[in-house]
Structure 1
Amino acid sequence: MYPHLEQALKHHFGYDSFRLGQRDIITQALQNRDLLIVMPTGGGKSLCFQLPALLKKGLTVVVSPLIALMQDQVETLRKNGISATFLNSSLNSYKVRSREQYILGGKVKLLYVSPERLLSERFLPFLDLVNHQIGISTFAIDEAHCVSEWGHDFRPEYRQLSTLRQRYPGVPTLALTATATDRVRSDIITQLQLKQPNVHIASFNRQNIYYEIRPKKKYVYTELLEIIRKTEGSGIVYCLTRKKVEELAFKLQHDKISALPYHAGLSDTERSENQTKFIRDDARVMIATIAFGMGINKPDVRFVVHYDISRNIESYYQESGRAGRDGEPCRCTVFYGYGDLKTIEWSINQKTDPQEQLIAKHQLRQMIDYAEGTDCRRTILLGYFGEQFAGNCGNCDNCRHPKPVEDWTIEAMKFLSCVARCKERFGMAYIIDVLRGSKNQKIIQRGHEKLSTYGIGKDKTVDEWRMLGRSLLHQGLLTQSADGYGVLKLNAHSWEVMRRQRPVSIAVSPQQIATWKTESPKAIEAEMLWQRLRELRKQLADVIGVPPYAIFGDSTLRLMAQVKPRNKQEFSKLSGVGTHKLAQYGDKFLAEIRAYCQENNLPENDSISLQATATYTELQTLELHKQGLSIKEIAQQRNLKARTVIGHLSDLIEKHQPVDINLLVPVEKQEKIQQVLETLGNVALTPVKEYLGDDYSFDEINLVRAMWRKKKNS
């Protein structure tokens, strides 16, 4: 319906194709639908309202909670030649009036404002004038989880945004967030008065992140220092208290690490300066409380360390999600110690509202389950957001260093039977007390010492039963209420276990410390050229006062280093190079590549074909294919659709990557499909399928066509 979308994407943003789900969302946005978009950090949420803003008439108003976020996104848009601006308290009255005139003159497509300014007495009449003169095309509410009391970052001013629907009933609203449970999603729809919204929930799986938990021991600082020194690039270290932030920043600076502190106790000026230095790569590591980072659009953060454990899984997911937004490999480490729990529990007990205390304690309990869990970290994280994941992700400590698995079916039957006999009214601690025959007064008062399950679990420790209980929850064999009390509930799978229809296995050994190594490009030359291109990018960024990634992202620089384009035509084909950036920076980067090749006596034909450059996600699929996994097995392990895996393999074949097509399509079918392609030529799949009949699948044709194309282009 919108065939021009890919052209607009390449022209404005430099990308050749949309990420999964983006095209559908943008198409619906262009149809003036209300939308709720739940997409993980780094998944491409911003593009879902930025591209429609450029294609629709009028002004798109973006509601953003933080000044830093507005300035960051506006700078990036302007470097792409897109007319965007912001209005916030950092501007004097002259600049505000000047920008307002530009807006009324129709010279701005995207306006970023805070909810407080948007709803102020002076600004709403101005917005009325904008709507009358040039029209408001869309309201985009970023960080929309802030509207919900059940979200991890509730902000009362977000509740008032419902007045937009009453004042501008014909203007569509897009609500966007990286984290939202079912309850928070429902709250967003209600509070913003979205009209029959299309809800898009992308996978929460960040495949490029390596997750690990490390015990917080005496020499934790030495471990932190080792992580920073061994991991290339920028990083964030989160702490619970301002005092800890200051201490760590001081110690790291003493150890020659370019680190800066960030917390609410610093002046606005110092916080802003430190943040700018971090974004522009003048400081490598930011030591921060949770006051730092929401919406920070720095795509090349290579590691996030939680020196202290997070208060809840939503916060952890969002904080850890600030790593690797560019899709490149990164790591997220949590140092877990019981002392931190006491700090958080004390903070929770300061809350005056009993219901708030209850919710916070329940959320902390879930975070502890994640930290102490022996199952795949992704299974636990994604399960929290209602997304099923088969496990064995291959990119977390529990999967890379698996613990011995034991059959605990009998113990699981005992545990689930106890939940049933207690009428599904209690939490895990109480069930364990009953199983272990506790003389707890409440057990006696309720008569639960008379249950058949009372005392049948004395042979296991409290920790062992807790480990089993958590694993049952993570495997979906048991559920838990979300009302703050954590009451255990049985489901259909629970009864299958109790009827001996489903076995239960759990990992039981002590936690092992995983090691993680930064992946590097195969060619040393490409790595050296990449470093030179980064230096050039930094010089150009400093001259015009923008973050380096606003010029080109790391992934685009890596493509330059691998492909070594020789002219502007080849340069323009790189992902991340749009029309504006080609004109502005093409000659400078081509000159640097040319100089590098001459200095190192590299022949001109040394550059590899752009088509041969596989993406990170394609290479992950290729690695599993080389291990002998079937398409179905790869799809399950990577939590992808089989059709997506087929797409990866087809692209890999055309890029001359080592895909063994004989493992995918029978030889006799390959020959027949190739004969038809020789007859019909390079056509779409459907004509080939119609010619061949039902014995041949679209997937088989797609793979063989890729092989046929590769031979034709060789």
Structure 2
Amino acid sequence: MYPDQDFEQLAKERPTLARTSPQQVLQEVFGYESFRPLQGEIVEEVINGGDALVLMPTGGGKSLCYQVPALVRPGTAIVISPLIALMQDQVAALKELGVRAAFLNSTMDFEQARSTEYALTTGELDLLYCAPERLIQPRTLDLLHGAPIALFAIDEAHCVSQWGHDFRSDYLQLSMLAEAFPNVPRIALTATADERTRAEIADRLSLNNARHFVSGFDRPNIQYRIAPKTNANKQLLDFIKTEHDGDCGIVYCLSRNKVEATARMLGQNGLTALPYHAGLDPAQRAEHQERFLREDGVIIVATIAFGMGIDKPDVRFVAHLDLPKSLEAYYQETGRAGRDGNPSTAWMVYGLQDVIKLRQMLEGSQGSDHFKRVERQKLDAMLGLCEVTGCRRQVLLEYFGDTLEAPCGNCDTCLNPPETWDGTVAVQKALSCVFRTGQRYGVTYLIDVLRGAENERIRQAGHHAVSTYGIGTELTANEWKSVFRQLVANGYLRADPDGFGSLQLTERCRPLLKGENSILLRKDPVARRSSGRKAGGSRTRPVIGDDINQAAWDHLRACRKALADQQGVPPYVIFHDATLYEMLKRLPRTREELGEITGVGAAKLEKYGETFLQALAEAASL
């Protein structure tokens, strides 16, 4: 992307700035009238030479917190980014704004790299993106010592946490920046970190004196929904066809085989679904990511290898077919939906086998006792979100130290409050059955015993004669699965780490068996069609007002797509959907009026102004 690295031409095209006012940079370069909450404070802190640790939700505008100071402070801002695709996208977007940006990564040939290094040392760059493993090389550090540096921005800073889900060992060495460049401000940014992780980031990056800026974690446009797993493929297909037909989305699976099978299943049912995992050929992986970024209606089915830093604003849903290991992972992954602020869905199905599998993986790991204890706490918090009967958003935000005073009204437990029932007797039956059968069997066998199934396996084991045989006919097999799932999730039963899924009693279940405690269980809701968009909805239209003409909207998007194809960039790099939407709402007729639209900076007005004014005039007649 941009192989010529024509920095001189960019400098000519770029609007002249006094480089003294962050507000001027925000308006003239990025096309925004005002900063969002905390952005202005962070920008001032970094411009004045202070260090900052920034926690801001995905889509909250983290990039501006270092991009604006980069254009105000003298020198080049060095941005440490963990993913090649992310740095390429951000550089492409900045160049569209007339900013002199470049990257150094393994995709470049010798001449391209040399050209970029020369531009750095001669002060021709505003921002340079670099992977952590490249930054810490002696050659790169020598280059940086010979160049004027405006600031260091460490993106996706949670990668430094050894307790985190995206740990990158190269991030651990970034603390040396404090010693090597003591007078250069550093800003570390992430969307996901609880208090423990925040302290770890500050310590490992030598940001102990940095100001902490913690924005609210709430993403009110995302609807959180978690359902019991019955037939995962059918549930997923029904969800997409009913509510998100034609939308871009991400489906997360735990294994590569499941990724491939799920992508095939969606493709066989008329959807454009592409697999993405570490086992794919790198060229194919890159092609699938590129299609996801540039085309409408593409669904990526992926392991957690996909997504960190993905800047696509119009992802309308994120679905999980397997349980994430922690709330940090869940929040990070679901946060890739709805970056543009439009309504989006975080949808997940989970079942007993998910819980058993993750607990077995944890207990069978080679980690220390301390590591296992921390990981158990994280998994317990994840299960708590799944089984909660109150507002899911309140539970999620509380985990990150944020608060939501009233229930959100936009999660499944708010929209369709689950019922609870006194499960004490049923639980005693379930626990007794585990004990009477020797704590050596999985849930399917235990349910057969409870429901009095007549089969050879039970007879051979002699379990047709135990006192719990046939005492559970009042519940269906699915209802018993729900009972066992909640008992495992809440720590009354544990999966034997032998890998065969047998359930065993824990010390916690003793008061229940003795009748000293009672227990309320969550009644799984009956599956029904949600209030989301109905099947057969538009395949290209996002959530826009009824006052916008569909033909006009399609015409403007087609204009944007043509320009994007010419430039070799994703459509949202030209303009976000929100900018097109505002154009159609306000219908500007002059360059001055178009320049007042949010997201239309000076460079884009110069480059695309006449084209979009003509497209808007044509759209008005449709």
Could you tell me which of 162, 169, 192 is aligned with 1:179?
Answer: 192
Q: In the alignment, which residue of structure 2 is the partner of 1:203?
A: 216
Instruction: Please tell me whether the aligned partners of residues 378 and 391 of structure 1 are also in contact (alpha carbons under 8 angstroms).
Output: no
Structure 1 residue 59: Cα displacement: 1.1
Which runs of structure 2 are paired with 1:106-121 in the superposition (5 Å)?
106-121=123-138
Q: In the alignment, which residue of structure 1 is the partner of 2:511?
A: none
Deviations 1:63-101 (A, max 9, x none): 111111111111111111111110011111111001111
Q: In the alignment, which residue of structure 2 is the partner of 1:496?
A: none
Structure 1 residue 571: Cα displacement: 1.3
Work out the number of aligned pairs and report it.
528
CA distance in 2, matches of 1:90, 1:283: 28
Is 1:591–2:614 an aligned residue pair? Answer: yes
Letter in 2 for 1:403: P
Letter in 2 for 1:212: R
Instruction: Please tell me whether the aligned partners of residues 148 and 154 of structure 1 are also in contact (alpha carbons under 8 angstroms).
Output: yes
Q: In the alignment, which residue of structure 2 is the partner of 1:265?
A: 279
Q: In the alignment, which residue of structure 1 is the partner of 2:49?
A: 32
Instruction: Please tell me whether the aligned partners of residues 216 and 336 of structure 1 are also in contact (alpha carbons under 8 angstroms).
Output: yes
Deviations 1:281-335 (A, max 9, x none): 1661111110000001111111111122211110110000000111111111001
Deviations 1:348-398 (A, max 9, x none): 345212333333333222211111211111111101111122242111111
Q: In the alignment, which residue of structure 2 is the partner of 1:224?
A: 237
Distance 1:393 1:403, change over 3 A: same
Q: In the alignment, which residue of structure 1 is the partner of 2:410?
A: 395
Is 1:375–2:387 an aligned residue pair? Answer: no
- Residue aligned with 1:298, SS: coil
User: Taking structure 1 as the reference length, what is the TM-score of the superposition?
Assistant: 0.68
Instruction: Please tell me whether the aligned partners of residues 121 and 143 of structure 2 are also in contact (alpha carbons under 8 angstroms).
Output: no
Instruction: Please tell me whether the aligned partners of residues 482 and 524 of structure 2 are also in contact (alpha carbons under 8 angstroms).
Output: no
Which runs of structure 2 are paired with 1:438-453 in the superposition (5 Å)?
none
Distance 1:528 1:261, change over 3 A: same
Structure 1 residue 516: Cα displacement: 4.0
Deviations 1:661-712 (A, max 9, x none): xxxxxxxxxxxxxxxxxxxxxxxxxxxxxxxxxxxxxxxxxxxxxxxxxxxx
Deviations 1:565-586 (A, max 9, x none): 2222221111111111111112
Q: In the alignment, which residue of structure 2 is the partner of 1:608?
A: none
Letter in 2 for 1:169: P
Letter in 2 for 1:299: P
Letter in 2 for 1:321: G
Structure 1 residue 226: Cα displacement: 4.1
Letter in 1 for 2:83: L
Q: In the alignment, which residue of structure 1 is the partner of 2:357?
A: 343
CA distance in 2, matches of 1:370, 1:53: 40
CA distance in 1, matches of 2:172, 2:231: 45
CA distance in 2, matches of 1:506, 1:590: 62
Structure 1 residue 17: Cα displacement: 1.4
CA distance in 2, matches of 1:469, 1:279: 39
Q: In the alignment, which residue of structure 2 is the partner of 1:556?
A: 579
- Residue aligned with 2:231, SS: coil
Instruction: Please tell me whether the aligned partners of residues 150 and 183 of structure 1 are also in contact (alpha carbons under 8 angstroms).
Output: no
Distance 1:156 1:3, change over 3 A: closer
Instruction: Please tell me whether the aligned partners of residues 235 and 301 of structure 1 are also in contact (alpha carbons under 8 angstroms).
Output: yes
Is 1:253–2:267 an aligned residue pair? Answer: yes
* 4+ long deviations beyond 4 Å: 461-471, 505-509
Structure 1 residue 236: Cα displacement: 0.6
Q: In the alignment, which residue of structure 2 is the partner of 1:48?
A: 65
Distance 1:228 1:121, change over 3 A: farther
Is 1:16–2:33 an aligned residue pair? Answer: yes
Distance 1:31 1:536, change over 3 A: same
Q: In the alignment, which residue of structure 2 is the partner of 1:154?
A: 167
Is 1:538–2:536 an aligned residue pair? Answer: no
Instruction: Please tell me whether the aligned partners of residues 374 and 507 of structure 1 are also in contact (alpha carbons under 8 angstroms).
Output: no
Is 1:215–2:215 an aligned residue pair? Answer: no
CA distance in 1, matches of 2:359, 2:579: 45
Is 1:164–2:177 an aligned residue pair? Answer: yes
CA distance in 2, matches of 1:30, 1:164: 18
Distance 1:584 1:506, change over 3 A: farther
Instruction: Please tell me whether the aligned partners of residues 249 and 318 of structure 2 are also in contact (alpha carbons under 8 angstroms).
Output: yes
CA distance in 2, matches of 1:189, 1:524: 48
Structure 1 residue 208: Cα displacement: 0.6
Structure 1 residue 103: Cα displacement: 1.2
Instruction: Please tell me whether the aligned partners of residues 276 and 288 of structure 2 are also in contact (alpha carbons under 8 angstroms).
Output: yes
Distance 1:228 1:357, change over 3 A: farther
Select between 67-76 and 527-536 the one with higher mean Cα deviation: 527-536
Q: In the alignment, which residue of structure 2 is the partner of 1:242?
A: 256
Distance 1:255 1:147, change over 3 A: same
Deviations 1:498-548 (A, max 9, x none): xxxxxxx99954335471424843436433322221121111101110000
Q: Provide structure 2 residue ranges, at least 5 long, that are not aligned to the other structure.
A: 1-18, 437-479, 491-505, 509-518, 534-541
Distance 1:185 1:344, change over 3 A: same
Distance 1:149 1:586, change over 3 A: same
- Residue aligned with 1:276, SS: helix
CA distance in 2, matches of 1:302, 1:164: 38
Instruction: Please tell me whether the aligned partners of residues 527 and 561 of structure 1 are also in contact (alpha carbons under 8 angstroms).
Output: no
CA distance in 2, matches of 1:344, 1:195: 35
CA distance in 2, matches of 1:522, 1:118: 46
CA distance in 1, matches of 2:326, 2:156: 17
Higher helix share: 1
Q: In the alignment, which residue of structure 1 is the partner of 2:348?
A: 334
CA distance in 2, matches of 1:467, 1:307: 18
- Residue aligned with 2:29, SS: helix
**RMSD (Å) for aligned C-alpha atoms:** 3.5
Structure 1 residue 171: Cα displacement: 1.2
Select between 109-118 and 278-287 the one with higher mean Cα deviation: 278-287
Deviations 1:162-183 (A, max 9, x none): 1111111111111111111111
Identify the structure with bigger relative contact order (alpha carbons < 8 Å, sequence gap 6+). Answer: 2
- Residue aligned with 2:152, SS: strand
